[in-house]
Structure 1
Amino acid sequence: MQVRNATLSDVTAIVEMSRKFYATTTYSGWADFNAETVHDLASNLAENHLMLVADDGAKLIGMVGLFVAPFMFNGDVTAAYEVVWWVDPSEQGQGAGKALLAAIEPACRAKGCKAIQMVHLSTSPPQAASIYERVGYRHTESSFTRVLGP
């Protein structure tokens, strides 16, 4: 298994992995998955930001994507903001998630980032937060969503 930068030829597989990931989130309860939107997002991340994939030689088994952008309180500082970090459940426990997480820092440093912000969803595996903390991330904020009716 290797972690590498995603290419545009990976986008179709990224969309399918995203479909599987999305079904596990609370977001799927109020907005349908839109493959075209995800295709455009994955293409943008691969071309202009940061999109890494875990490749077992036969197929993609995981991904991590981050926007690289100015920090909102100081435009002179660049940071990376996670969009997705996911490994196929059938492949979990074999190191792909940890390898993807480890690859983020050097890739973000190469893009001039001073900080990386990862997300912990209410549906994230409970061990995700402890993994973040174990590798040096600190809890900085939580978010809450209110779905507005029609």
Structure 2
Amino acid sequence: MRVRRAELSDLDDLVALEEATFDSDRMSRAQYRRHLDSGSARVLVASANHRLFLGTAVVFFRKGSRVARLYSLASRPEARGKGVGSALLAAVEQAARRHGCNEMRLEVRTDNASAIRLYERLGYQRFARIDGYYEDGAAAWRYARPLDAATR
């Protein structure tokens, strides 16, 4: 498996993976396009080869802040449990460190047990609940993890 920065030529595959992974709160083609060109976002893909996407991650950086925000982490159902999420998280954390960030934050649906297990296994700590966070009214847990200089 290889994790790399997404390119404009990946746009169709990014949108297809988003639609196959999420029932709501999906990023649009225009949003992906904007994030691919943005200095304040990084879009990464994990692939078995250049065209077979296993997963994707989007992380945001805010100017003047040392806190990065994992906006989205998605993996194909058939790739779950095979290290795709862990590899993508390690890559976004490394990107955040290079961007000068010392903390990663994220939100996750309170009913997404597999994602919660992944984040907690990798050292993320729950610190807040946000009711009605998602389009369908579902609540979210907020998590954070300090990013030390060491790499995973």
Both structures adopt the same fold (TM-score exceeding 0.5)? yes
CA distance in 2: counterparts of 1:123 and 1:21, whole angstroms: 15
CA distance in 2: counterparts of 1:120 and 1:15, whole angstroms: 20
Deviations 1:3-31 (A, max 9, x none): 111111111111111112221x5x5xxxx
Aligned counterpart for 1:110 among listed residues 90, 94, 98 = 98
Aligned counterpart for 1:141 among listed residues 128, 147, 150 = 128
Does structure 2 conserve the Cα–Cα contact (< 8 Å) formed by 1:77 and 1:114?
Answer: no
2:117 — aligned with what? Answer: 130
1:30 — aligned with what? Answer: none
Matches within 5 A, 1:56-135: 56-57=48-49, 58-70=51-63, 76-124=64-112, 126-135=113-122
CA distance in 2: counterparts of 1:95 and 1:132, whole angstroms: 12
RMSD value, Cα: 2.2
CA distance in 2: counterparts of 1:43 and 1:114, whole angstroms: 27
Q: Counterpart of 2:16 in structure 1: which amino acid?
A: E
2:44 — aligned with what? Answer: 52
Secondary structure of the residue that 1:77 maps to in structure 2? coil
2:25 is equivalent to residue 38 of structure 1: no
Gap regions ≥5 residues in structure 2: 136-152
Alpha carbons of 1:96 and 1:115: their partners in 2 closer, same or farther (altered >3 Å)? Answer: same
Aligned residues: 132
Does structure 2 conserve the Cα–Cα contact (< 8 Å) formed by 1:52 and 1:64?
Answer: yes
1:9 — aligned with what? Answer: 9
| Structure of larger gyration radius | 1
2:20 — aligned with what? Answer: 20
Deviations 1:84-129 (A, max 9, x none): 10100012122111111111111111112222112211342x1322
Q: Counterpart of 1:11 in structure 2: which amino acid?
A: L
> More helix per residue: 1 or 2?
1
TM-score (norm. length: structure 2): 0.76
CA distance in 1: counterparts of 2:19 and 2:99, whole angstroms: 28
1:73 — aligned with what? Answer: none
Query: What is the CA-CA distance between 1:64 and the residue it aligns to?
Result: 0.7
Q: Which structure ranks higher in relative contact order (CA pairs < 8 Å, sequence separation ≥ 6)?
A: 1
